[in-house]
Amino acid sequence: MAHIKVKKMGLASGITGAIIYLSCFLFMSILGKDVLVKLANLLFHGVDFSQILRMDIPIAESLIGIVLSFIFWGTVGYILAFIYNNVT
């Protein structure tokens, strides 16, 4: 079996996590609270998001969130590739 390049996997995972975070930010900006609540309630059946959804997120907090998402998911991808390479 081929080995996964751990740094590339980490980078790809980090970029993917940041894109997902940014997409969520854009959805929140475009759709509005009512549509987001309906969408979230459909995706996570049994959970009511109407009381916990926060729409007033500052840009600085969103930028920090993108960076942290990149770091978190990059680390997850790195660890996943590392374990895969050492198990096979």
Q: What is the pLDDT of residues 8-30, one digit of tens each?
A: 999 999 999 999 999 999 998 89
Region label for 46, one of left (φ > 0), alpha (ψ between -120 and 50) or beta (otherwise): left
Residue 81 CB partners (closer than 8 Å, separation 6+): 4, 5, 6, 9, 10
The arithmetic mean of pLDDT across residues 70-87, rounded, is 97
On whether the CB atoms of residues 18 and 66 are closer than 8 A, the answer is: yes
Q: How confident is the model at residue 1 (pLDDT cuts 50, 70, 90)?
A: confident
Break the chain into its structural domains and give their ranges: 6-87
Q: Give yes or no for residue 88 having a pLDDT over 80.
A: no
Residue 37's contacts (CB-CB under 8 Å, 6 or more residues apart) are 49, 50, 53
